[in-house]
Amino acid sequence: MATRLASDLAISVAVVEAGGFYEIDNGNKSVVPGYANYYTGSDPANYQPLIDWGFITVAQTVRFSRAPIMKTFQVLECVGLILGCVEQGAGNRRVHYARGKTLGGSSARNYMIYHRPTKGSLQKWADEVGDQSYTWDNFLPFYEKSCNYTPFNPTLYNSTILSQPPGVFDPAGGPLHVSFSNYADAFGTWAQKGFTTVGMQVLNSLNAGVLNGSAYSTLSIDPRNGYRSSSESSFLQAGLQNGTAPTIYKNSLARKVLFNGTTATGVLVTTAGPYGIPPLNYTLTARKEVIVSAGAFQSPQLLMVSGIGPQATLQQHGIQVLIDLAGVGQNMWDHVLFGANRRVNVITASASLNSPIVAAKLAAQFEANGSGALSAFGAGYYGWEDLPQPYRSNLSSAAIAALATFPSDWPELEWLPISAYLGYQTNRQTEDPRDGYNYATINPGLISPLSRGNVTISSADMADPPILNPNWLSDPTDQELAIQSFRRSREIWSVLAQYNVTVGTAEYLPGLNVTSDADILAYIQASLMTIYHAAATCKMGNSTDSMAVIDSQARVYGTQNLRVVDASAFPFLPPGHPQSTVYALAEKIAADILGASVPPPGYSMAGYAQDVAEQQTHLQTLTNSSTQISAQEKSSVAPTISSPTLFVALVALYAIWSTWLTYLM
């Protein structure tokens, strides 16, 4: 979004980014698709501080299960305990939730799956926010605008139809590369066979507003070299090359949005100093707008520390209440996955974990021409469906009624075959048994979740992490659907066993002796993991929605010149993977802003140039003179982890705080 705004040369744009360039800070482990699962495990220690925030959820502990008295009166949890009507949401675990702290945000960390949501889900979006510009037909041009599509390589996918319908990609699209990987995974081929055998129709495309069925997914990968395509490597690099990039303040933390009354006027920023030198505090002023794009966790956090959020929360932390908005940090949607692990007769990621020689050969192949197993992550083939019979008959009437509230084309389940051992998902580099066998997992993902989480603040300081409570499996419908989808996954595995894809019929984890609903649920709770799709914590909605934070143009209610544009701004989490929708929303709001962006009366380009010079002089003075920072300010700022480079520039019309969280997977 920042690059789109900066393309108007009459606008000056600043981006404040807490991280640096992931290509430098994490190298191949961020650039090479096959290494995407590094530092994404649930173990709180499994993170890389140069490119990840290291966020950890609160313990996912006892939650309500369905009981009439609890549904009717919402009694206290302690009463539920007395009644024996509680279940563990996710095994009482505190889970590392990977988030990108780097230019490109989580588009530099995700699993690169790119597809569009369903037509019905976007109609629901338009209806909920009272703005028909969000329907499929009206929103589609912004999906098309962000990306350029390269067709598949027929020598790799010679037995698969991957043609994209006319009109879903624009030949004149944007800099984000969307294509298919330069490797057709063997387990993905068998997953296609398994899915079609159990009744999922084959789709040509996942970008035409229909998901029910199965298909190879397009990916945010540059097919020319096999590299990840992120918002940084596409939009920002394109802007740098053509001279229209925003000014970047890397290794810098936005501490607070500043206001004159209820009008946003700028951002208080801290940039890390070199080793032994204190950090630098300064203010970036915005002539026109401040746009918060810090993701589902830190966008609400930044609003709250700036005085916008639930009144009681702000007062608890001594924050002056500017706007009492109850919905800030609430309404968190997320998707989770889990699955059974089996030994298979095809080559998977286990091969390189078992053999350094295999790992070296794969690295050499990728380095030579961007191909081979490292040019892909996972099986690449995915399925979507509503839970079918006979499993559906095991759902309660309440669960069936709850699922019926979603649009008819909104799938209840996504099927994610992974050509790797996932186990309990604590550390995806160390969990493989490494016993000489190849392992794979077939994972159901819950994409019609009823559970809702929340984000709040631990202090009035952005340097302190927010408190994250996803509340996974807290709703009984999610628990029921999880159990039955796990049973469905065993049916798919049994089909693959008939094709001799598996080594025998044994289930390595959890084991075929896990059969009761209670035992299956216990395994799911102990092993489930987020798909990293947290969204809707600064919910878009109309003015009558008491939990809405922003309007349909992403403007924060009760303020002027302040917007939120990222996945936190969604009214809900659409089905599937949200990467494409984050880009589309950014394109849409950028177009709204640029369409309304005209200089004030009497404001000339000569005046603009003078403002530029004044801002440059002011910020250079801040850089060179430590007297600009009080001792109290210095002592209150926690240094960041990374070594810094301070980019000194101006903000004439827009100040933007962005970590470009484009969401994992």
170, 199, 270 from 342: Cα distances, Å: 41, 22, 49
68 belongs to an annotated ligand binding site: no
The 10 Å CB-count burial string (b at 16+, else e) for 268-295 is bbbbbbeeeebbbbbbbbbbbbbbbbbb
Query: Is-contact 473 179, C-beta < 8 A?
Result: no
Could you tell me which of 297, 313, 354, 346 has the C-alpha nearest to residue 537? 297
Could you tell me which of 306, 308, 302 has the C-alpha nearest to residue 324? 308
For the record, the structure tokens of 73 come out as 């009166």
For the record, the structure tokens of 528 come out as 């489930």
Question: Residue 389 carries which side chain, given as an amino acid letter?
Answer: Q
**Whole-angstrom distance, CA of residue 121 vs CA of residue 646:** 43
For the record, the structure tokens of 306 come out as 């700036």
**Whole-angstrom distance, CA of residue 86 vs CA of residue 62:** 6
Tell how far CA 223 is from the center of its chain: 23
Which DSSP state fits 580? H
Q: Element (H or E) spanning 60, and its range?
A: strand 60-64
Query: Is-contact 455 468, C-beta < 8 A?
Result: yes
115 is a catalytic site residue: no
- 573 Cβ contact partners less than 8 Å away, ≥ 6 residues apart: 333, 334, 335, 449, 533, 535, 536, 567
For the record, the structure tokens of 282 come out as 């300064």
**Helix segments in 130-248, DSSP class H:** 136-146, 186-197, 231, 237-242
Could you tell me which of 119, 499, 113 has the C-alpha nearest to residue 337? 113
**Whole-angstrom distance, CA of residue 88 vs CA of residue 62:** 4
Residue among 96, 115, 177, 577 flagged as catalytic: 577
Residue among 96, 115, 335, 533 flagged as catalytic: 533
**Whole-angstrom distance, CA of residue 510 vs CA of residue 6:** 52
Q: At what angle do helices 517-527 and 476-498 cross, to 10 degrees?
A: 90
- Between β-strands 60-64 and 438-446, what pairing exists: parallel, antiparallel or unpaired? unpaired
- 344 Cβ contact partners less than 8 Å away, ≥ 6 residues apart: 187, 438, 439, 440, 496, 501, 502, 503
For the record, the structure tokens of 114 come out as 């790119």
**Whole-angstrom distance, CA of residue 468 vs CA of residue 457:** 9
**Whole-angstrom distance, CA of residue 503 vs CA of residue 492:** 15
* Residue found under tokens 């949607």: 333
300 belongs to an annotated ligand binding site: no
577 is a catalytic site residue: yes
**Whole-angstrom distance, CA of residue 645 vs CA of residue 195:** 50
| Strands in 261-325 per DSSP E | 263-271, 280-285, 289-293, 308-309, 323-324
For the record, the structure tokens of 414 come out as 């996504």
**Helix segments in 169-259, DSSP class H:** 186-197, 231, 237-242
Positions marked active-site: 533, 577
Give binding residues for FAD as ranges: 578-579
Give binding residues as ranges: 578-579
